[in-house]
Amino acid sequence: MDVWGQLGAVEGFQFCETMDTQSDPLVYDALYPGDGWRSWIKQYFPHVASKPFAKRHERVWDWFDSLEFNCPPPDPDIEIWGRGGAKSTTLELGVAYVGAKLSRPFVLYVSETQDQAREHVQSIGDYLEAIGVQRLTGVFGNQKGWRKDQLRTAHGFNVMALGLDVAARGIKLGSFRPGLIVFDDLDGTEDTAKTTAKKIRQITKKLLPAGSTDCAVIGGQNLIIPDGIFAQLYDGRADFLANRQVHLEPAVINLQTEGRVCEDGRTRHFIIGGDPTWVGQDLEVCQKQIFDWGILAFREEAQHEVYAGTGYFFDEKAAIIVQEFNADSIVRIVRAWDTAATQGAGDFTVGVLMALTANGVVWILDVVRAQLSSDNVDALVAMVTAWDRSRFGAKYHVRMPQDPGSAGKKVAQQDQRKHGAVIEAVTGTKAKRAEKYAARWNEGNVRLLQDGHPRLPAIDRFLDEVTKRTELEGKTLHWIRPLLTEYRRFCEDESHDFDDQVDAGADAFNFLMLRSDVLTSKPQSTGLPPHLMRKNLSQDAVGQDSSGRIIPPKRSR
């Protein structure tokens, strides 16, 4: 019995109710000459498959070619490829090939969101029309079922798009069940353990049971998070699709890179070794992707190098300590605070002075760090803010956090009134807030000023007085060592001892990355204790400036 007779014998097949009047074996023969996938691609899509296939592409095409109508399916195929490796194009074109062969008359194409799934299905529709497939029409010539999220062809092929964000509302398939389910990009970079668990429930309780008895399953994604669906399919934690065959390939095997400081002062990463897995994404292409995406994003998206659940964020070796800083290059500068309120114990109050320069490099110019009471915290913030403003003028901002609850809001309002601070609510985990900052740090595009931004001597005298610091602890240079130690120990699972400098640094970085300046109001009072008041804060700057440690900004007359 040919495929048309087999389709007619399928019990309950009603998805294309006009198929009997529109099906034409001659049309089917034209869509699939019967010479295999290589000749089919060569005949219809030489412009799409313009580069020679890698072994992974051939493996997937052989899998699609093995599908035969009303025959047992092959084992589920899970393909984990780096971004840029033609994964989605291969899956979309493979579904069009299935439609040409009619080896599975109904395909369910599943992605993380409905919009993503629709885009994939629309691409499949373009491929089908390119080979001459006609849309299904009704008795009066109106199109039936050719929409953004569904394709129905005159020769009996059907594709439906489904996003996991809408799957919870139910899937109405009628009496006809999908014979092929394609999972394309199910994980999201922001997925939590709860989100992933919900997606797995949708897959195992709604989607897979909806398949036909001979349903075949194929999935593709890059490994973007350590505990996502595809990570669990890869490492064996997933108990569904138990007979799956899993294949993981990075863009480059044994990738070696090195960072180089270029003429503009930025650190760029260059490939110095490795074997590309596909000629369509050779080392030249990968080098451009590193420049465009950033080295950390490339290693995650194309190489599957994602943070472990308890992984360290900051590479201490990526820190670059420099001797000199040109303040004229500042685009924006901020002092971000992470405050505590226990004198001599507990968490530290930290103020990180960070600048963004025109070439995109981030500079840490100074860190104030001490265990202080709430009154002393207020005095320190006021003193440091006044000093910083005298040095950097309108480019300078103060950023302070707002803790949850009404008490946090009240304190934030006081900070805004007294210090002219930009107030931002604390949301998300510490690791999530530090993620982009760590990426810039690990790229080698964060600089630490060796001797630091010159401080007002009164600030150090105040800290000496209230914290009983030793002479060594009072030296400006000393802030670099504890900062690097804390950054080195900072973990995503928060098993570290302290994270105040990471929190303040991440808040400063995220503020600097804002697209537009946020202007702060002028403080209404200094808040300084009377014995620490100075008539002219800039007087101490003259001697400090001549040290050569920092080149002061030019002042307009």
pLDDT tens-digit map of 214-226: 999 999 999 988 8
Question: Which pLDDT belongs to residue 535?
Answer: 34
According to DSSP H, which parts of 319-443 are helical?
374-392, 405-419, 430-443
pLDDT-derived band at 548 (thresholds 50, 70, 90) equals very low
Burial status of residue 519 (CB atoms within 10 A of its CB: 0-12, 13-18, 19 or more):
exposed
Count the Cβ atoms, other than its own, within 10 Å of residue 55: 11
- Residue 77: φ, ψ to 5°: -110, 120
Is it the case that residue 470 has pLDDT exceeding 70? no
Question: Which pLDDT belongs to residue 468?
Answer: 62
| Cα–Cα separations (whole angstroms), residue 277 to 254, 283, 293 | 11, 10, 19
Number of H helices, E strands in the chain: 18, 16
Strands (E), 41-139: 77-81, 106-111
Least confident range of 44-58, 186-200, 405-419, 543-557: 543-557
Tell me the mean pLDDT in the region 338-351: 76
Whether domain 316-515 has CATH 3.30.420.240: the reply is yes
Is it the case that residue 14 has pLDDT exceeding 50? no
Question: Which pLDDT belongs to residue 423?
Answer: 81
Question: Which pLDDT belongs to residue 218?
Answer: 98
Is it the case that residue 30 has pLDDT exceeding 70? no
Is it the case that residue 178 has pLDDT exceeding 60? yes
Question: Which pLDDT belongs to residue 314?
Answer: 86
Q: What is d(CA 469, CA 323) in angstroms, rounded to the nearest whole number?
A: 26
Is it the case that residue 66 has pLDDT exceeding 50? yes
Question: Which pLDDT belongs to residue 139?
Answer: 44
Of 322 and 244, the one with more pLDDT: 244
Question: Which pLDDT belongs to residue 311?
Answer: 54
pLDDT-derived band at 309 (thresholds 50, 70, 90) equals very low
Cβ contact 358:329 at 8 Å: yes
Question: Which pLDDT belongs to residue 170?
Answer: 47
pLDDT above 90 covers what percent of the chain?
41
pLDDT above 70 covers what percent of the chain?
75
| Cα–Cα separations (whole angstroms), residue 333 to 185, 389, 397, 407, 484 | 39, 10, 6, 29, 21
Question: Which pLDDT belongs to residue 342?
Answer: 63
Is it the case that residue 488 has pLDDT exceeding 90? no
Least confident range of 187-201, 294-308, 407-421, 433-447: 407-421
Q: What is d(CA 400, CA 198) in angstroms, rounded to the nearest whole number?
A: 36
Question: Which pLDDT belongs to residue 98?
Answer: 95
Question: Which pLDDT belongs to residue 25?
Answer: 45
Question: Which pLDDT belongs to residue 554?
Answer: 46
Question: Which pLDDT belongs to residue 173?
Answer: 52
Give ranges for CATH 3.40.50.300 in the chain: 25-249
Average pLDDT of the chain to the nearest whole number: 79
Tell me the mean pLDDT in the region 377-389: 89
Give ranges for CATH 3.30.420.240 in the chain: 316-515
* pTM (predicted TM-score): 0.63
Q: What six digits make up the tokens of 168?
A: 């919870």
Tell me the mean pLDDT in the region 518-542: 37
Task: Give CATH for domain 25-249.
Answer: 3.40.50.300
Burial status of residue 21 (CB atoms within 10 A of its CB: 0-12, 13-18, 19 or more):
exposed
Is it the case that residue 8 has pLDDT exceeding 80? no
Q: What is d(CA 485, CA 480) in angstroms, rounded to the nearest whole number?
A: 9
Q: What is d(CA 98, CA 285) in angstroms, rounded to the nearest whole number?
A: 31
216-221/180-184 β-pairing: parallel
The packing angle between helices 500-512 and 430-443, to 10°, is: 70
The CA-CA-CA angle for residues 436, 440, 442, to 5°, reads: 110
pLDDT-derived band at 138 (thresholds 50, 70, 90) equals low
Is it the case that residue 516 has pLDDT exceeding 50? no
